[in-house]
């Protein structure tokens, strides 16, 4: 498995990392992990050389950490790198930081984290991290060797990133980076700042929550004409992995086919050529002409007080926008319970405050509602 290493040390995190936010589930309606299927994926990835595993306190309704405890217990602790995160939105009172950190160590069944992140820093969440003196607490844990490397994941502008970088000497940073968000969310600006600061980059959402694995026909044809045998997802993964300074590219793999394809890609990894880069730029322009709502399905917006299944609403709407299959869209929408539909949104705005993509979710729910009403009328 290809590795760029970590800052010239003996640590060799794999360029492909396993993101544990979208593990196989027992059903589409549940966040309950299908342990047997998910553990097989971990075993397959580990055998292929993947040694970086990323989880968080909130993934799979808090079950992801415990799953990794079980899945990785059979392997020597020093043979893999475990990354976990401190969620600002769970910090309500003094003592919560320590409580959550200790709970995470217990859930994961480890004495230390190889990589630990302040989860989803934005201008607003930064206030919470500072209010509860999170950075100082985590620094103390690092001094005790319970955190080997301290970093953050980020969802804001380069200007906010500059402020975050000024706070301390960070060991690494995790940003959302793919060939659409390179310009759409200025991932390029964020990446450049981190490169200039000499901070290793972990990439999240390289396939944009799976969206770049199922493109509009025009963009897909662009890739297939260039390389008929390569999957659409492989182009997105190679885009992220080709960038200098990228330590690890996280992939939320949930099938054996994905694990086998991705591990093969990163075992014999080759950076993009200039011609392939031009192909991606062309396909990106074609895709952006169809692009609607930039939801990655992270579910940070959930649970909705009214019961609206927000990521499902966006996924159905985006599929319709790309395919224009009105009947399929209406049937899928109307098959859902009324409480889960966009029409049930009461515009409270709580979801928008939590969205890492800064989507104005209540406004989009109104758009979806209007679209459905128009299709029903026709």
pLDDT in tens, 148-158: 999 999 998 89
Residue predicted with more confidence, 62 or 291: 62
Q: Provide the mean pLDDT of the chain.
A: 95
pLDDT of residue 206: 97
pLDDT of residue 238: 98
Task: Return the structure tokens found at 348.
Answer: 């409270």
Whether 64 shows a pLDDT value over 80: the answer reads yes
pLDDT of residue 101: 98
Whether 323 shows a pLDDT value over 70: the answer reads no
Where does the pLDDT of residue 318 fall: very low under 50, low under 70, confident under 90, or very high at 90 and above? confident
Whether 219 shows a pLDDT value over 70: the answer reads yes
pLDDT tens-digit series, residues 239-274: 999 999 999 999 999 999 999 999 999 999 999 999
Task: Return the structure tokens found at 77.
Answer: 């602790």
Arithmetic mean of pLDDT, 319-326:
76
| CA 16 – CA 45 distance, rounded (Å) | 9
pLDDT of residue 216: 87
Residue predicted with more confidence, 83 or 287: 83
Please tell me the total number of residues recorded for the chain in this structure: 378
Using DSSP, state whether 12 is helix, strand or coil: coil
Q: Answer yes or no: are the C-beta atoms of 187 and 240 closer than 8 Å.
A: no
Whether 291 shows a pLDDT value over 80: the answer reads no
The CATH number of domain 16-288, selected from 3.40.50.1110, 3.30.930.10, 2.60.40.10, 3.20.20.100: 3.20.20.100
Whether 289 shows a pLDDT value over 80: the answer reads no
| CA 267 – CA 1 distance, rounded (Å) | 4
| CA 113 – CA 323 distance, rounded (Å) | 44
Give CATH 3.20.20.100 domain extents, the chain: 16-288
Residue predicted with more confidence, 238 or 180: 238
Whether 316 shows a pLDDT value over 90: the answer reads yes
pLDDT of residue 42: 98
Whether 209 shows a pLDDT value over 90: the answer reads no
Q: Answer yes or no: are the C-beta atoms of 293 and 364 closer than 8 Å.
A: yes
pLDDT tens-digit series, residues 72-86: 999 999 999 999 999
Arithmetic mean of pLDDT, 30-35:
92
Q: Answer yes or no: are the C-beta atoms of 197 and 165 closer than 8 Å.
A: yes
pLDDT tens-digit series, residues 221-232: 999 999 999 999
pLDDT of residue 352: 94
């Amino acid at each position: 498995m290809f590795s760029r290493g970590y800052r010239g040390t003996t640590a060799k995190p794999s360029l492909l990392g396993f993101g544990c936010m979208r593990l196989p589930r027992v059903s589409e309606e549940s966040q309950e992990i299908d342990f047997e299927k998910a553990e097989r994926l971990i075993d397959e990835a580990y055998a292929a050389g993947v040694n970086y595993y990323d989880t968080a306190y909130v993934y799979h309704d808090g079950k992801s950490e415990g799953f990794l405890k079980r899945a990785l217990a059979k392997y020597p602790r020093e043979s893999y790198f475990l990354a976990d995160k401190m969620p600002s939105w769970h910090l309500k009172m003094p003592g919560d930081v320590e409580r959550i950190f200790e709970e995470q160590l217990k859930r994961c069944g480890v004495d230390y984290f190889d990589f630990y992140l302040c989860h989803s820093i934005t201008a607003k969440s930064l206030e919470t991290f500072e209010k509860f003196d999170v950075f100082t607490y985590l620094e103390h844990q690092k001094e005790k060797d319970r955190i080997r490397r301290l970093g953050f994941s980020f969802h804001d502008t380069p200007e906010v990133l500059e402020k975050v970088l000024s706070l301390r000497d960070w060991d690494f940073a995790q940003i959302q980076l793919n060939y659409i968000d390179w310009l759409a969310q200025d991932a390029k600006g964020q990446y450049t700042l981190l490169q200039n600061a000499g901070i290793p980059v972990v990439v999240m959402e390289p396939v944009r929550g799976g969206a770049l694995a199922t493109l509009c026909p025009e963009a897909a044809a662009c890739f297939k004409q260039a390389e008929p045998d390569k999957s659409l997802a492989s182009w997105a993964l190679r885009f992220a992995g080709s960038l200098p300074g990228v330590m690890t590219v996280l992939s939320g793999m949930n099938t054996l086919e994905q694990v086998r394809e991705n591990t093969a890609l990163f075992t014999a990894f080759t950076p993009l050529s200039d011609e392939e880069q031009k192909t991606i730029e062309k396909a990106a322009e074609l895709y952006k002409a169809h692009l609607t709502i930039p939801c990655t399905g992270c579910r940070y917006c959930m649970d909705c007080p009214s019961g609206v299944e927000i990521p499902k609403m966006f996924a159905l709407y985006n599929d319709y926008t790309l395919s224009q299959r009105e009947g399929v869209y209406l049937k899928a929408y109307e098959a859902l319970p009324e409480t889960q539909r966009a029409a049930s949104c009461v515009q409270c705005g709580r979801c928008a405050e939590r969205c890492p993509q800064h989507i104005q979710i209540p406004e989009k729910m109104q758009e979806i509602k209007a679209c459905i009403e128009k299709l029903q009328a026709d």
